[in-house]
Amino acid sequence: MAHNAADIILVNDKLTMNHLRRKLILVGGIAAIPMSSGCLTAAMMSGGDRENYYEKVGSVLISADGKTLAVIGKEHHYLFDAPEAIKAVIAPDLRDVVNVHFQTFSVDSAQRITGGYTLNIGKTASAEQKEKAIAAGFKPLPTGNLNFTGKLSGTRYSANGIQAENATQKLRKEYTINVSAEKSAGAKAISQAGKLLATPVTLAADGVLILVAVPLLLVIGISSAASSN
């Protein structure tokens, strides 16, 4: 079932005191796949060399410059290089018709994270919207929908208590994402914060999340199989 998210608000990059401040903006919509929900600590499951946990996510954002995709969880922030297809869906003529589904995240002991995503445009989209989506790499399906699948890679960070407070950056409903982590990157990392880098996402005075990076040192940033609670 697809859930509409809040409108995307685009802002210009601001250069302030030698720091590049990039406001994060909400990505179109999210398609949720039913799965058991649960908090991070209660839902931890062990098996072999890996542990699975469920992360509650309140925001899926992209930087205003289109370079960073950020999944904002309760315990972690997942930051990915934004693929070209996702950059395309923040355009005003596409963002309202695209739904995003993220597959399970996989984290290694160095906090490197990989995952897959699917973008879907329904058959009710206009001919012009479909034409632009196809130009961006979407493939037509027999159902009349358009589909795009791809891979993500990035880094997992400690959320450090930072969450979106501004309504324009929050999903209408909280989602649960499945994460599979190497044991050295799972429970031990959760209990020993020093193993996780603090998130480069910060909270501005107005409650808006921004991504901060020293010029020439680009902080990049992040998705999964999700369910609404």
Domain coordinates in residue numbering, the chain:
2-224
In this predicted structure, what is the pLDDT of residue 40? 41
pLDDT tens for residues 33-90? 333 333 444 345 555 688 899 999 888 888 877 788 888 899 999 999 888 877 777 6
Q: What is the pLDDT of residue 100?
A: 79
Q: Report the run of H or E that residue 187 belongs to, with start and end.
A: helix 187-191
pLDDT of residue 10: 31
Do 101 and 31 contact (CB within 8 A), yes or no? yes
Residues in a beta bridge with 118: 101, 149
* Per-residue model confidence (pLDDT) at position 45: 54
User: pTM above the 0.75 mark?
Assistant: no
Q: Are strands 98-102 and 29-31 parallel, antiparallel or unpaired?
A: parallel
Task: State residue 157's pLDDT score.
Answer: 94
Digit-by-digit pLDDT tens for the chain (229 residues) are: 444 333 323 333 333 333 345 566 666 544 433 333 334 443 455 556 888 999 998 888 888 777 888 888 999 999 998 888 777 776 777 777 888 788 899 999 899 999 988 888 999 999 999 999 999 899 999 999 999 999 999 999 999 999 988 777 777 778 788 999 987 654 454 444 436 789 998 887 777 788 864 221 222 222 333 445 5
Q: What residue type is assigned to position 135 of the chain?
A: A
Are residues 210 and 155 in contact, defined by beta-carbon separation less than 8 angstroms? no
From the list 41, 119, 25, the residue with the least C-alpha distance to 74 is 41
Helices and strands in the chain, H and E counts: 3, 17
Residue 228's contacts (CB-CB under 8 Å, 6 or more residues apart) are 1, 3, 32, 173, 174, 175, 176
Residues 6+ apart with CB under 8 A from 57: 71, 72, 73, 74, 171, 174, 175, 176, 177, 224, 226
CA atoms of 34 and 110, how far apart (whole Å)? 30
